[in-house]
Amino acid sequence: MSVGSGAGESRGRSPGRSVAGNIAFGAGLLLVLATMTLGAFAGVALTIGLADDSFLSPVVPDDGRNAVGIGGIGMGGLLGLMLPLLLLAAVRGTEEKPRLGPGEALLKALVLVLFSVYLVVVSLLAAQLGWILPEGITTLLSFFIVGFSWAPVALIRWERFGLGGMAGLRPKARVQGGSDKSD
């Protein structure tokens, strides 16, 4: 039995796909990746600008400047990735998964912005290592500090607040075949 497909399954296209649908999916994927990348660049420019030319400049040491940029990457990348997906979920819906209402979409967008600000605050805290550590070590440690700072937030039960952890944006899992037993 081959590894790629089950017995009796064809390797052809599924009946629900079309060339136009594939092109639309590809265009949407490119749009989301572009907004994520541009958002990350914009986040870095914003946070480095805050670290250099604002009221935060005395707080951020020279060796901690890259840590603030790492927080900007997280902030901008997250906003650039999720806001187009939120807009898509607000205008597109099916019978199984209705579209997001304006209030729910706005609430989820506000939560995204607050989480992005949280990432910047964590990066400002990581930048404080620059007072005692050299720049390279501060940058390396801040990468892990900012990168794993979402873990405590992930443990919060967002369903209590009516947010559901952005479950409205994820596609539902489809079960292929009639059996879930492994060989």
| 157-178: pLDDT as tens digits | 767 766 664 544 444 555 555 5
Q: Where are the domains of the chain?
A: 22-169
Query: Quick one: what percent of the chain has pLDDT higher than 70?
Result: 78
pLDDT at 151 over 70: yes
Q: How does pLDDT run across 64-89, given as a tens digit for each residue?
A: 888 888 888 888 888 888 888 888 88
Residues 81, 82, 87, 90: what is their CA dihedral angle, to the nearest 10 degrees?
A: 150
Mean of the per-residue pLDDT values for the chain?
78
Question: Where do we find the tokens 């801040």?
Answer: 142
Contact residues for 81 (Cβ-Cβ < 8 A; gap 6+): 32, 35, 36, 39
Residue 28 has pLDDT above 70, yes or no: yes
pLDDT for 109: 84
Tokens of 104: 């729910």
Rg (CA), the chain: 21
Strand locations in 22-161, DSSP E?
Answer: none
User: Over the stretch 85-124, which tens digit does the pLDDT of each residue have?
Assistant: 888 888 877 777 778 787 888 888 888 888 888 888 888 8
**Using CA atoms, how far apart are residues 183 and 170, in angstroms rounded to an integer?**
29
Rounded CA-CA distance 133/128 in Å is 9
At position 103, the amino acid (one-letter code) is G
pLDDT of residue 179: 52
